[in-house]
Amino acid sequence: MSNRMRMSGINSGMDTQSIVEQLVQVKSTKKEKLKKEQTKLGWKQDAWKSTNSKVFSLYNEQFGMMKLQGTFQKKKASIVDSSIASVTADSNAVNGTQTLAVKQLSKTSYITGASLNKDKEGNDLNVTGSTMLKDVIGDTSFTDDLGDGVKGTAFRVYKDANDTTGKAVLLTNNMTMSEVAEEFSKAGLNASFDSNTHRFFISSKTEGAAGQFRITQTDGANSGNDLFGRTESADAELLGKAVSDAADDAERSQIRNEKAFAFMDALGITKKAAGTGYIEGENAKIELNGAEFESNTNLFQINGINITASKVSDFTDLTDEEGNAVRRYQTTNLSVASDVDGIYNDIKSFFKKYDEIINELDKMYNADSSKGYEPLTSEEKEEMSEDEVEEWEKKIKDSLLRRDDNLRQIINTMKEGMSKAITLSNGNTYTLASFGINTLSYFLAAENEKGAYHIDGDADDDKTKGNDDKLRAALTNNLDDTMNFFNELTKGVYDQLGQMMQRVPDYRSFQTLYDDKAMQTEYDKYTTKIKEEEDYLSDYEDKWYDKFAQMEKAMEKVNAKSNALAGLFGTG
Of 156, 155, 154, 123, nearest in space to 138 by CA: 123
State the average pLDDT for the chain.
Answer: 90
Q: In this predicted structure, what is the pLDDT of residue 565?
A: 64
Whole-number Å distance between alpha carbons of 91 and 74: 5
**What pLDDT digit, counting tens, does each position of 465-480 carry?**
999 999 999 999 999 9
Q: In this predicted structure, what is the pLDDT of residue 114?
A: 93
Query: Residue range 190-202: average pLDDT?
Result: 96
Calculate what percentage of the chain has a pLDDT beyond 70: 91
Q: pTM here? A: 0.73
Residue 24 has pLDDT above 70, yes or no: no
Whole-number Å distance between alpha carbons of 91 and 102: 24
Query: Residue range 105-116: average pLDDT?
Result: 93
In three-state secondary structure terms, 263 is: helix
Whole-number Å distance between alpha carbons of 228 and 262: 11
Q: In this predicted structure, what is the pLDDT of residue 185?
A: 97
Choice among 8-22, 306-320, 413-427, 428-442 with the minimum mean pLDDT: 8-22
Q: In this predicted structure, what is the pLDDT of residue 222?
A: 74
**What pLDDT digit, counting tens, does each position of 498-535 carry?**
999 999 998 999 999 999 999 999 999 999 998 888 77
Residue 219 has pLDDT above 80, yes or no: no
Query: Residue range 207-220: average pLDDT?
Result: 88
Handedness of CA 285, 287, 288, 290 (dihedral sign): positive
Query: Residue range 378-406: average pLDDT?
Result: 94
Beta bridge partners, 199, equal 194
Whole-number Å distance between alpha carbons of 71 and 188: 43
Whole-number Å distance between alpha carbons of 570 and 572: 6
Q: In this predicted structure, what is the pLDDT of residue 135?
A: 92
Q: Which amino acid is at 347?
A: I
**What pLDDT digit, counting tens, does each position of 226-245 carry?**
887 888 888 888 888 888 88
SS3 content of the chain, % helix, strand, coil (to 5): 40, 20, 40
Q: In this predicted structure, what is the pLDDT of residue 400?
A: 96
Query: Residue range 431-457: average pLDDT?
Result: 95
